[in-house]
Structure 1
Amino acid sequence: MHVTRQRPASVRGPAEHFTGTVWLDEIAAPPSPSRLRMFSVHFTPGARTAWHRHPHGQVLHVTEGEGLVQRRGGPVEPIRAGDTVWIEPDEWHWHGAGPHTFMTHLAVVEAAQDGTSVDWDRHVGADAYPSATS
């Protein structure tokens, strides 16, 4: 067993993968052979990920606020504190805060054997995001 008492510093989500202000806190990244990765992700109002997918899927658990999630070709779904979302392996999707609310979620993924945990695509543009929330 290993108890972690100090966490790495919060890091800003890179602009190439996020729209708006997003902060990432690494919660767990155990040593090999584990491939588990867990983050607490904090989105300011209107902030969101770019389209992306995960080789083994992703679990999101909303801990605070309200947000949105969408899989490619599907409707935009509202999510709020207490909701848990399972995203299928290799399913293109995005998620983030609502247009007027903050949102924090835990994000859990399993990396592939080569260490890859996410494949990024284009941003969800301002033209698509507001229309998705109306």
Structure 2
Amino acid sequence: MKYSVKISLLFLVIVIASCTTEKSTDRAMSKSESVFPKGEKIDSPNFAGTVWLQMMGANDSTLHARFGNVTFEPKARTNWHSHPGGQVLFITEGKGYYQALGQPARLLKKGDVVEIPRNVVHWHGATPDSEFAHIAVSLNTDDGGAVWIRPVMEEEYYKISDNK
């Protein structure tokens, strides 16, 4: 029950945050511009390619969850990793992949949602020809942060993109 309430509350926060009261004349908005800030470029060995991150919400939240907007340039991706508390991805722009270890990769597009159970080893990132953005929600963060394993090898990545 607690898990469903947390997901519902986080989804509500994301929906409310995406609403804007600005008039279109107040802000020129291109067709591909996201309602969420792109954030800062990540400099981390846990990602391949260029990735930006904009954390959202309070760091000391009583929700025991952290969430942020993650934007990947084409071909960029996370390393294989897991989350002790689980994770949810809300796809907001572009095309990308999600793959759980030992499973076929899934092609993702705007509007898709991925629910990742606790401790499932996986990766996610952009297709070779599209930028990709999602709101990543790490759940039950009191159980610990991401556990990084290893890079997604070029052969693994391109085998997927060749089959899609």
Q: TM-score, length-normalised on structure 1?
A: 0.87
Residue identity over aligned pairs, in percent, reads 39
**Alignment coverage as a number of residue pairs:** 127
Give the deviation of 1:28 after TM superposition: 1.7
Q: Deviations over 1:83-134 (max 9, x none)?
A: 00001100000000011100100000124436x2210010001121001111
Encode CA deviations 1:58-94: one digit per residue, 9 max, x unaligned: 0001001000010000001100000000011000000
**Shift of residue 9, structure 1, vs aligned partner:** 8.9
Q: Give the RMSD, CA atoms, in angstroms.
A: 2.0
Distance 1:47 1:53 in 2: 18
**Structure 2 residue ranges without an equivalent (≥5):** 1-16, 18-36
- How do 1:1-134 residues align onto structure 2 when only pairs under 5 Å count? 10-113=39-142, 116-134=144-162
| TM-score, length-scaled by structure 2 | 0.72
Task: For residue 117 of structure 1, give the secondary structure of its aligned residue in structure 2.
Answer: coil
Gaps in structure 1 of 5+ consecutive residues: none
Which structure dedicates a bigger proportion of its chain to helix? 2
Q: Which one-letter code corresponds to 1:128 in the other structure?
A: E
Q: Is the 8 Å Cα contact of residues 29 and 38 (structure 1) preserved in structure 2?
A: no
Contact 2:38 2:71 (C-alpha < 8 Å) held by counterparts: no
Amino acid at match of 1:64: E
